Amino acid sequence: MDRAAALSQNRRIIMSILSPLLRAARRKSPWFYTVNAGSCNGCDIEVGAGLCPRYDPEQFGGLRQGSPKHADILIVTGPITLRTKQALVDIYAQMPSPKVVVAVGSCPATGNVFTGSPSVCAPLESLIPVDVYVPGCPPRPQDILRGLKQAAQLLAEKEA
C-alpha cells in the first residue's frame, strides 16, 4: 500500500470515529454571521433583538461571529441588490463546509415591496442555496430563534 492510500484510509477511520462528535458539536454550537443585503433594517433590528441576552441564543450554543470564515450559519436580511449580489456570493464562498443559509424576512425570499426595482436583482435562492426561511415583515425574534434552531439541526445532519 502506498503512502497516499494509507493516509486516505487513516483519514476515513478518523472521520468515522469523529463524525458523531462533529454532528453533536455542530448542533450544540452553531456560529452565526449576518448580512444585510439591502434591507430597510426592520429585520436587522429583530435579528439583533433575537441574538441578544433577552432571547439568549447561547442557550443552544449560538454565537455571533464577525467573520464568515468562522461561521456555520449565514443569516441574510433584505432584498438582494446589485451592490450586494457579488459580496453575498463571496461571503458564502468564504464559509467553511458544511454551512446553512437562513433567509430572514420576506425580502430575501421574494423581494417583497422592492420587487421590480431596478436595483433589486432576484430572490436569494437564485444566488446561493437557502436552507431555512423565516417569514414575516419583520419576523419576531422568537421566530428567528426557531429558524436558527432548525438551521442548527440541518447543520448537524450535513457532512463536512
Q: Would you put residue 2 in left (φ > 0), alpha (ψ -120 to 50) or beta? A: beta
Would you say residue 68 has pLDDT above 80? Answer: yes
**pLDDT, tens digit (0-9, with 9 covering 90-100), for 14-49:** 777 777 776 666 666 789 999 999 888 899 999 989
Cβ neighbours of residue 152 closer than 8 Å, sequence gap 6 or more? 26, 27, 28, 30, 60, 61, 62, 73, 100
The H-or-E segment that residue 88 falls in is helix 82-94
Cα dist from 22 to 4, 19, 29, whole Å = 25, 5, 10
Average pLDDT of the segment spanning 42-67: 86
Tell me if the bond preceding 138 is cis, omega within 30° of 0. Answer: yes
pLDDT reported for residue 24: 67
pLDDT reported for residue 144: 93
CA dist 79 and 107 (Å) reads 5
pLDDT reported for residue 131: 95
pLDDT reported for residue 22: 66
pLDDT reported for residue 159: 60
**pLDDT, tens digit (0-9, with 9 covering 90-100), for 117-156:** 888 987 899 999 999 999 999 999 999 999 999 998 898 8
**pLDDT, tens digit (0-9, with 9 covering 90-100), for 92-115:** 999 998 899 999 999 999 888 888
- The whole model's pTM is what? 0.82
Would you say residue 10 has pLDDT above 90? Answer: no
Poorest-pLDDT segment among 7-11, 59-63, 82-86 = 7-11
